[in-house]
């Protein structure tokens, strides 16, 4: 039987943020490219962004009510056991109906119950851990997972070494090659050839601190001959757009969301970004001088740990969230003034890149099916 006619039923669970969803879609696309007759079912959490993004990408998704345990004292924790039992029952039902040959967990609220029920039914499971610091759920599930695909070296401190495959995080194909796209990118975003471009990314929903830091410095950026391509995020776009319009500045380009990320990266001379797993993986492939401003509001402070792995390799600069407002301009000036050192930083970023992550994860998934 040729690969084109081989049929597998693959379930991919998880989501909640773009950092979980886009790698999951990249894995699905790579699998379908190799086994086009396969059926793929995504499982996500109701009300989360995967319920929109996955169907837009052409895949079927089932959602269920699931929530995480709050780390702070919260009344919502009282309902957690009941939600967990409900999500386990729903996961069991979906597995019984879909009958997957294998289940992939990419992290997020839906991932835990689905992988747990798959393992309880002796269905092969694969974990894709995007961060440099593994969460509690994945550490528990790792005991029965067949393979664990990781994005950082040194993950033996969390998972059994014999199960680990260092694949990197899968990213969108269009980012893998930016050559020849700069002129098109500048024209697309209305940017000037004679100004250095700062690309500012705070995630699809936005990052308040980063947005405040840009507002505080945008006049100084423009006076210094810079231009800013700024993804402010869904929650902050109207407010930030109004501030830019009121300022009368001509070279601060604010967008709610940037879909053409290959062009955004091609236009950039420097990047300012949160340090979510997907952002870090994409930026390492791009190889542009980067300032990471890790979010302090994530589990186990994993964004700082993600960023530090790159800082220690001489591949990026870290600016603490509490210092971003008031120090962002100086950090950007520092990057641009370093010349050869900044270029070296970009080369070090590319050394950490894993451009074949999706195909390597597909190979790992094949190995647990055989």
- Binding-site positions: 17-19, 131, 172, 204, 258, 277-282, 303
- Which residues fall within 8 angstroms of residue 45, CB to CB, at 6 or more apart? 15, 16, 51, 63, 64, 65, 66, 67, 108, 109, 110
Angle at 249 between CA 245 and CA 251, to 5 degrees: 115
DSSP code of 330?
Answer: H
Residue 319 phi, psi (nearest 5): -120, 120
CA separation for the pair 152, 352 (Å, rounded) = 9
3-class DSSP state for residue 125? strand
Alpha helix stretches (DSSP H) within the chain: 18-34, 50-56, 80-98, 111-120, 136-141, 182-189, 208-223, 237-247, 261-267, 277-286, 302-311, 321-337, 340-351, 357-369
Nearest by Cα to 247 from 275, 271, 228, 272: 228
DSSP code of 165?
Answer: E
Name the pairing type of β-strands 164-166 and 147-150: parallel
Please spell the DSSP secondary structure of 58-90, one letter per residue: T-EEEEE---PPPSS--GGGGGHHHHHHHHHHH
- Which residues fall within 8 angstroms of residue 115, CB to CB, at 6 or more apart? 13, 103, 105, 125, 127, 141, 145
Q: Measure CA of the first residue to CA of the last residue in the chain; give whole Å.
A: 15
Give the residue ranges of the annotated binding site for UDP-N-acetyl-alpha-D-glucosamine: 17-19, 131, 172, 204, 258, 277-282, 303
Nearest by Cα to 285 from 128, 178, 199, 133: 178
């Amino acid at each position: 039987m040729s690969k084109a006619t081989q049929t597998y039923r693959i379930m991919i669970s998880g989501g909640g943020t773009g950092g979980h969803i886009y790698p999951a879609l990249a894995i699905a696309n790579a699998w379908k490219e190799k086994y086009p007759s396969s059926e793929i079912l995504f499982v996500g959490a109701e009300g989360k962004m995967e319920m929109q993004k996955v169907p837009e990408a052409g895949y079927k998704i089932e959602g269920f009510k699931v929530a995480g345990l709050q780390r702070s004292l919260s009344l919502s924790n009282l309902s957690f056991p009941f939600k967990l039992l409900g999500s386990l029952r729903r996961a069991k039902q979906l597995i019984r109906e879909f009958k997957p040959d294998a289940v992939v967990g990419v992290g997020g609220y839906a991932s835990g119950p689905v992988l747990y029920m798959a393992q309880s039914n002796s269905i092969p499971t694969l974990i894709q851990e995007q961060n440099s610091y593994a969460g509690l759920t994945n550490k528990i599930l790792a005991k029965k997972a067949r393979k664990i695909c990781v994005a950082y070296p040194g993950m033996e401190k969390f998972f059994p070494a014999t199960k680990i495959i260092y694949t990197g995080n899968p990213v969108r194909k269009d980012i893998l090659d930016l050559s020849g796209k700069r002129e098109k990118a500048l024209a697309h975003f209305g940017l000037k050839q004679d100004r250095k471009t700062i690309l500012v990314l705070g995630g699809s929903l936005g990052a308040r601190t980063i947005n405040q830091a840009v507002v505080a410095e945008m006049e100084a950026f423009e006076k210094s001959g810079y231009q800013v391509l700024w993804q402010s995020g869904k929650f902050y776009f109207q407010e930030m757009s109004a501030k830019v319009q009121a300022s009368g500045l001509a070279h601060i380009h604010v967008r709610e969301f940037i879909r053409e990320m290959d062009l955004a990266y091609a236009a950039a001379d420097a990047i300012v970004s949160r340090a979510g797993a997907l952002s870090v993986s994409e930026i390492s492939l791009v190889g542009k001088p980067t300032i990471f401003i890790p979010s302090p509001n994530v589990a186990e402070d994993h964004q700082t740990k993600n960023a530090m792995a790159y800082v220690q390799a001489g591949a990026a600069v870290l600016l603490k969230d509490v210092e971003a407002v008031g120090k962002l301009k100086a950090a950007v000036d520092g990057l641009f003034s370093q010349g050869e050192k900044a270029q070296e930083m970009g080369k070090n970023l590319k050394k950490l890149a894993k451009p074949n992550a999706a195909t390597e994860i597909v190979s790992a998934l094949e190995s647990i099916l055989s």
